[in-house]
Structure 1
Amino acid sequence: MAEENSGKGRSGSVQSIGRAFGLLETMADAGGMMGLSQLAAASGLPLPTIHRLVRTLVDLGYLRQEPSRQYVLGPKLIRLGESSSDMLSVWARPHLARLVDELGESANMAMLDGDQIVYLAQVPSRHSMRMFTEVGRRVLPHCTAVGKAIFSQLREAEVRELLQRTGMPKHTENTITDPDAFMAQVRATQEQGYATDEGEQEVGVRCVAVAVTDVPSRLAMSISGPAGRMTEELVERAVPLLTQAGKALSEDLR
């Protein structure tokens, strides 16, 4: 039977499944809403093929058609996303625990979800006075080291568009509220390979973070603690350990 008719590629993968997931990823990258012609242009697939795949995804609850006749990501994806986040936390915890053992301060993993940073996992410091970030907490990216680290992996235009949507509210005297000044920090993060939060989210709290690269989600790992304990020496020790932990987590997720 011909490959096109069988629906399978030479590797044995099912072509229609790969195309369906490709459409979902294309829509997610575009903000979650697209029309059939946009999907056809973005994917390079024929319009009848797009229509057939989209109707199947609608029937399964993974897409929904709006009155405008455009399609949006459906609610059934939320359950998959929640399960995926839980598994990310499970995979991350051993790496975060090693960071706490080595450095003594709280270790976190966070993800860019839409326009917000959400904390997916944390292993707290053993100090009586420590930073505690509630898993599931959502914050704006511009005042966090994890946000800067993730932004260092994105195009500048994409970062500026996000900042324009969210604004840059001031949380402390150190919060950066100017987009140009913020982009200078993002470029510095790209050059040095890590980002810092100098009391920009909470007074007296310092944080250092690196992006987790080569993974499907936009992730970062960080160490945070009271500014008095988060010395330059500790930050210098933390950066290579965070980088190593990020690479190890990336390998686990492949």
Structure 2
Amino acid sequence: MSRGSEPTLIASVQRALRLLEVVGEHPGGVTAKSLARSTGLALPTTYHLLRTLVHEGYLAKLDDGAFIVGGQVTGLHDAALVQQVRGRIRGLMVELREDLRAAIYLARYHDGEVQVDEIVDSPRAPRVDAWVDFREAAHATAVGKCLLSGLSEDERADHFHRYPPENLTPRTITGLRELVERPEQSLVTDTEEYSLGTACLAARVLGPGSPVTLAISFPARRLATTGQYVLPLRSAAGEISRVLALAGGRAAWT
């Protein structure tokens, strides 16, 4: 397609989408004849498109002959809401990466495991080399510690029973009592406990369901400036908390 030229559009797709829009404007359903009048389509064309949309599940035909929105549209609507939430969260993570020049992580504790759902990095701010699976290294990462801090002591004890703490660097904390009885923390630091030369900072994200955290990783040589990271990180975590609260249960990760 040459620059400035009009895109090639498929008329049948446009017509089908217009039918979906008009059906959606009539909660009680609408007949094929009414749809033809509303859209300006020929009645045979309208019937043909309606049969296709019903077959694919985007419309449903009632016993009285009226058409209503089908289950496929509901699924697309739910998916769109989740994607909008995820897009908004990723946008906040990108802003934080540019602000702090650090790799950004969004993680949650799901079904008894540490799960990193999103990483936003760049050549200037590369992600940490995950040389040990984060699920096995929760004791040594700010991400894991922050997530585990949101659990009960019994739940933390269960986690470490399944994943006994091991020394990953000379700085790794492996004492079970300290790890299990750790007081609840909304901000957690990892100073070269997971990887020498790398430090991490994690803040709690408030949301429905399991614990969620927003974290950053950066070279340990920048530890002296850690104080400059705290406010932006907390602010971004708070904004993500608001996004999740407004989305409610529709923001669940899949």
Shared fold per TM-score greater than 0.5: yes
Please give the per-residue CA displacement for 1:201-225, whole angstroms capped at 9, x wherever unaligned: 1121100001111332321011101
- In the alignment, the residues of structure 2 paired with residue 139 and residue 86 of structure 1 have an alpha-carbon distance, to the nearest angstrom, of 26
4+ residue segments displaced more than 6 Å? 83-88
Partner secondary structure for residue 225 of structure 1: strand
Q: 1:247 aligns with which of 238, 246, 249?
A: 238
Structure possessing the higher radius of gyration over alpha carbons: 2
Structure 1 residue aligned with 2:192: 199
Q: 1:224 aligns with which of 208, 217, 224?
A: 217
Number of aligned residue pairs: 164
Amino acid at match of 2:119: Q
Q: Extract unaligned runs of 5+ from structure 1.
A: 1-82
Partner secondary structure for residue 92 of structure 1: helix
Distance 1:87 1:117, change over 3 A: farther
The question of whether the paired residues in 1 share the 8 Å contact of 2:192 and 2:198 is answered with: yes
Q: Extract unaligned runs of 5+ from structure 2.
A: 1-79, 246-254
- In the alignment, the residues of structure 1 paired with residue 144 and residue 154 of structure 2 have an alpha-carbon distance, to the nearest angstrom, of 16
How much does 1:180 deviate? 1.5
In the TM superposition, 1:35-184 aligns within 5 A as: 89-127=86-124, 130-132=126-128, 138-140=134-136, 141-183=138-180
Cα RMSD after superposing both structures:
2.8
The question of whether the paired residues in 2 share the 8 Å contact of 1:109 and 1:122 is answered with: yes
Distance 1:125 1:225, change over 3 A: farther
The question of whether the paired residues in 1 share the 8 Å contact of 2:89 and 2:243 is answered with: no
Structure 1 residue aligned with 2:229: 238
- In the alignment, the residues of structure 1 paired with residue 172 and residue 160 of structure 2 have an alpha-carbon distance, to the nearest angstrom, of 14
